[in-house]
A and B are shown apart, each in its own frame.
Chain A
């Protein structure tokens, strides 16, 4: 159905013969704009317009739960959010979870990539074992990891109890709860990092390794001077993409710990959700959401820089 727009512009011999609006629209000069229009239109309706709407909301004292007419109050919401100690705490929690999860994903993803960089029989099938976690839903990962950590029924607790005599309650302490979330998230997304690194590894020209072998370069040296430069920018890409995604981490936290114990694992996304849907502070949550969006835009810029650098390198 969306083939229609192409149909319209694709007969270069005829457009000039048409007059009126149709002729104007199909002018080859506007072909680029015409092709972009459907994408921009959908994005505008579904993303950009709502984005502007919530930007507007962030300056009012609107509550989705009340009938009162919203009152304009300028930057007050932003002031409230930025001076709220709770918000800073949530940002810290988020930073800790993002930092440790992304580092863990990098290490595991990298090691997995080294494992799968070789060609071996049935590689396609073995690789599927590792890719599967990515395809699970957050809900199911959350529920089952919570079960694994469960002190009485959980597999993890069972194994750990065999090793140490102390009773093991993973989600009881703030550190344990954070570790629980980080492990679940890193398990799910390390395969993604692996795919990126793998793509870097297979792009290293073979002759470079052959040359290194002739020079009798040590393994470490080969890695540092040949392999690493090729995967460097892809690693950066992985870090940024996963940072942006983990920054938004919501479902897993909400299901595994609900932000607890206390508020020790409440990420900014969970806090946002609570402000918006439990306390119905719609406007305040919009203001906070915009602050988060600003951070994401900064990260996106870094991400683009990484992508461009990678593209330039491969050229």
Chain B
């Protein structure tokens, strides 16, 4: 049930031209990063900065293969693994949070209990708190339990970070549904399972995808916890990016730009596909049909 937007008036191609120019100015820093990905080291730090140059794909190659100075052969880097890790960890934890959050949201919406508001408030506070408050205990916990460096550790942590918004958002979508239809279905002998999966879930699919893309954007680039809690095997791309900074020859801007560009593609694609839902997502479900 994608909601049709009611825009204020319609405009033609002239407007598109103006909007594109403004949009491009806004996009310019990203554009520059993408350009840098195609530059050689000299071009990247040329004075004055170069807009026109001979593009090279070397940076993209060296994201995945590093030339070894001693043997003269090229050696595969672990960047492929890091890309897999980032995608796997982000999608799994956002998905898990969505499932767990939807169940909780359904309960908060349909079975109002005493103290519900308090629970909801505590849930939201956990998302608003500065991560630094819990970082030391979490670090110690992960070390003691052996979760440090494992996929499950970081996935559960990110799941926990995404649950608050999932609950709040999905609850507001459930709140909008008409409970009378559900009651009518129950009268006709539908089981609770059928009411939930057959009536409620299909009606809020747009809301669920909004929640998903919103969570994905917030999780995709998480750095601080990933830095402290992932190991060699589970390292994510933002951590790998930061690791390219500490070289003895200074920052390799071309290489970093290539990683940034590649890392932008998946999230850009998902956001583009679910763009209309995202609009819904950021308003926390307060915009009604």
Contacts and interface: CB of A to CB of B under 8 A. Distances in A.
Interface of A: 2-3, 5-7, 9-13, 31-36, 38-40, 42-43, 45-51, 53-54, 57, 64, 112, 115-124, 126-140, 143-145, 147-148, 152-155, 158, 187, 192, 195-196, 198-206, 209, 234, 237, 244, 247-248, 250-251, 269, 272-273, 276, 282, 285-286, 289-290, 292-293, 296-297, 299-300, 303-304, 307, 310-311, 314-315
B103 A147 contact: no
B100 A42 contact: yes
Given A6-B196, A129-B26, A137-B221, A38 B100 contact: yes
Contacts, number: 315
A57 B103 contact: no
A199 B287 contact: yes
B12 A121 contact: yes
B271 A117 contact: no
B236 to A, nearest CB: 10
A47 B122 CA distance: 10
A250 B224 contact: yes
A167 to B, nearest CB: 13
Majority secondary structure, A binding face: helix
B107 A273 contact: no
Given A54-B136, A276-B136, A311-B286, A128 B271 contact: yes
A179 to B, nearest CB: 16
Interface residues of B, number: 105
Contact of A153 (B47, B217, B257): B47
B24 interface: yes
A12 B196 CA distance: 13
Contact of B15 (A118, A201, A290): A118
24 contacts: A10-B192, A31-B111, A36-B107, A38-B103, A40-B119, A43-B163, A51-B129, A53-B137, A112-B22, A122-B20, A126-B16, A130-B23, A133-B29, A137-B263, A143-B253, A187-B26, A198-B279, A199-B280, A202-B6, A203-B287, A273-B132, A276-B136, A300-B125, A314-B287
Contacts of B10: 118-120
A50 B132 CA distance: 11
Given A35-B103, A118-B10, A144-B36, 17 more contacts: A2-B96, A32-B111, A43-B163, A47-B126, A50-B137, A117-B8, A119-B5, A120-B12, A129-B26, A138-B223, A143-B256, A148-B29, A153-B46, A234-B283, A282-B136, A286-B133, A296-B129
Given A50-B134, A126-B20, A314-B286, A38 B104 contact: yes
Contacts of B164: 43
Given A43-B123, A201-B8, A307-B284, A136 B268 contact: no
Contacts of B27: 129-130, 132-133
Given A57-B137, A64-B136, A32 B107 contact: yes
A256 to B, nearest CB: 13
A131 B278 CA distance: 11
B286 A158 contact: no
A13 B191 CA distance: 8
